[in-house]
Amino acid sequence: MDIVVYPDSVLKEIAEPVENIDSEIQGIIDRMADLMYSNSGIGLAANQVGIPKRIIIFDINYRENQRDLNVLINPVILSAEDKIVYEEGCLSVPYFNGKINRKKNIKVQGLNRDGNLIDIDAEDLTAICIQHEIDHLDGVLILDHVSALKRNMYKKKIKNLIKKDKNG
């Protein structure tokens, strides 16, 4: 398992709901967690490891030795209020940061790793992170939230990096 980066097409896919939380799904979650912590990420969606299923994980403290992992399977945002703007990055969109408009307070519902229904009231960075990860499940990247100018500059930059890579 590895982190998939732009422009891989799986990042544009709409992830499928998880039907059964079995040992295979739990194994995916555990490997995603190891990958997130080893990359010092605060959140990860299954699309980002090439698996278009509706699974997100997050831990805004991101310290490997003090894990406080949150898992949401088939997450749904029940309510969202107030605005917040934050400079976001993404493990799947290297060399890019952008100021993104989000909701400051959200209520989200989903299943945890054991298949129990949970509700989370999230605010600030946690709320931002959950919205960012749910975006991934809908094939949306932070690039889709910034201006066309900024997006096109990034696309050009990545194209050049890929070209350089191919030429050795």
Instruction: State the residues that interact with Ni ion by CB under 5 A.
Output: 90
Nearer to Ni ion, 90 or 111 (CB): 90
Q: Which residue is nearest to Ni ion (CB)?
A: 90
Q: Rounded CA gap, 48 and 72, in Å?
A: 15
Distance, CA of 38 to CA of 117 (rounded, Å): 28
Shortest Cβ 136–Ni ion spacing (Å): 6
φ, ψ of residue 126 in degrees (nearest 5): -65, -45
Q: Contact 28/71 with Cβ under 8 angstroms?
A: no
Any catalytic annotation for residue 133? yes
Least Å distance, CB 130 to Ni ion, is 12
Q: Where are the alpha helices (DSSP H) in 10-52?
A: 23-38
CA distances from 64 to 3, 35, 115, 130 (A): 17, 10, 24, 19
User: What residues are paired with 150 via a beta bridge?
Assistant: none
Instruction: State the catalytic residue, choosing from 13, 19, 81, 133.
Output: 133
CB nearer to Ni ion: pick between 22 and 34? 34
- Active-site amino acid positions: 133
